[in-house]
Structure 1
Amino acid sequence: MKSLQEQIGYNLKSIRKMRQYSLDQLSGVTGVSKGMLAQIEKGQSSPTVNTLWKIANGLGVSFSSLVEEETSGISIVRREEKAALQDVNDKYHVFPYFPYDQQKKFEVFLLELLPGCRHVSQQHLSGAEEYMFVSEGEMAVSIGDDYYELVKGDSMKFTANREHVYENKTEAVSSCFLLIYYP
């Protein structure tokens, strides 16, 4: 079984080769340096969530297509077996649960926001929608000038074509399941 770093590197290199991009061309479409992309492909770097979003958006692919192995049939996801992707401040953890499915056009993640977390999420592919289901604690979501407070059991849907911010202003871990739909 590949580590998460190795899987990301393998998937990125596969997509790049399939599109016949050089590392320079990939850097041009993603805005990520050629050196960083080379390190990611070799499994020598753990890219941040924002870096992975830049790569996914630049390539026009789903986030999970960079992090998951292709599976079929029945899938059971055990939280303790999933490795988290972390943001630079180590307070925002993303657990890829179900990778993007071309036919269904969605992917599912578990997000954990540690106390004091403020994560700015880049806009996603045009028309992408996020469906959030708060499973623990409280979190705030800002989209442009709009601000929303959610608690355990609340859900929210929005078009993710603008920068959006997730915050945990409490002293406890907050989490939500996030389904991203790509029309």
Structure 2
Amino acid sequence: MPTDDAIEGRIAANLRRRREELGLSLAQLAARSGVSKAMIAKVESGLSSPTAGLLGRLCAGLGVTLSTLMIEAEASEVSHQPAAHQPTWRDPATGLERTLVAAASPFSQVEIARLKLPVGTVVEYSLAPARGIRQHIVMLSGQLVFTIGGETTDLGPGDSLFAIVDRPTRFEVPGTSPPEYLVIQEPG
């Protein structure tokens, strides 16, 4: 399995690559994302470990998902991702753990991630994606409160939720056991 440092390095390199592909300067991405030029430079150079909220704002400014920054999908009609090789990223501020189970590819734009959050955690994505993302949340265990644009839903084991993520979102862990859930998403 890739190490945390390898995944953070991949995120940093892909962040810079995507920004450059779009022809954006640091100042332009800063304006789009609400993240300072200095912080973007630190993340791109690997000098700072970004939080989930910060990555959410950068992804929104670039019009990509976090999965896109975590891994470059191989172009194949059949893609096998053994569990031992699925990259996991950890938010240094909240402890959120995000494992990329299946990345999008030229053959499928669907992405699947498995997330775990520590009890008491709140993760806010204050900036909506540049384009709406169609997202399913499937609870495996624990409790989760999901809020999108002011509408709150309590989720428990076995529950599922569909939302078009085109507004700010918030994830909160109210219970006594950490939730684990799948996020299945595709571009809107």
TM-score of Structure 1 vs Structure 2, range by shorter chain: 0.7 to 0.9
Give the TM-score normalised by the residue count of structure 1. 0.85
* CA distance 1:54–1:103, shift in 2 (3 Å): farther
Most deviating of 75-84 and 63-72: 75-84
Q: Separation in 2 of the partners of 1:8 and 1:61?
A: 12
Structure 2 unaligned regions, length at least 5: none
Q: Call closer, same or farther: CA 1:144–1:70 in 2, change over 3 Å.
A: closer
Asked whether the equivalents of residues 87 and 93 of structure 1 are also in contact (C-alpha less than 8 Å), the reply is no
Judged with a 3 Å threshold, the aligned counterparts in structure 2 of structure 1 residues 105 and 6 are, in CA distance, closer, same or farther, namely: same
Q: Which residue of 1 aligns with 2:164?
A: 159
2:79, 2:106 → 1: CA distance? Answer: 17
Structure 2 residue 94 is matched with structure 1 residue 94? no
The equivalent position to 1:104 in structure 2, one of 103, 108, 113, is 108
Cα distance change of structure 1 residues 54 and 115 upon mapping to structure 2, 3 Å threshold: same
In the TM superposition, what whole-angstrom CA distance separates every residue of 1:58-83 from its partner, at most 9, and x where no partner exists?
A: 11122221121333443224268633
Matches within 5 A, 1:63-102: 63-71=66-74, 72=76, 73-78=78-83, 82-86=87-91, 88-90=93-95, 92-102=96-106
Of 77-86 and 47-56, deviating more is 77-86
Sequence identity of aligned pairs in percent? 24
* Alignment RMSD: 2.3
What corresponds to 1:146 in structure 2? 151
- Residue 33 (structure 1) aligned to one of 25, 33, 36: 36
Letter in structure 1 aligned against 2:182? F
In structure 2, do the counterparts of structure 1 residues 118 and 106 end up closer, same or farther at CA, with 3 Å as the change threshold? same
**Secondary structure of 2:167's partner?**
coil
Q: Taking structure 2 as the reference length, what is the TM-score of the superposition?
A: 0.83
Secondary structure (helix, strand or coil) at the match of 1:101 reads coil
Q: 1:100 to 1:148 in 2, by over 3 A?
A: same
The aligned amino acid for 1:65 is T
Aligned partners of 2:23, 2:122: CA distance in 1, in Å? 37
SS at 2:38's partner residue? helix
Q: Measure, in 2, the Cα distance between the counterparts of 1:166 and 1:79.
A: 27
Query: Do 1:125 and 1:182's aligned partners in 2 also have CA atoms closer than 8 Å?
Result: no
User: Shift of residue 7 of structure 1?
Assistant: 0.3
C-alpha offsets along residues 24-74 of structure 1, whole Å, 9 cap, x if unaligned? 333233222222222222222211111111111111122221121333443
Listed as ranges, the matches of 1:48-63 within 5 Å are 48-63=51-66
Aligned residues: 182
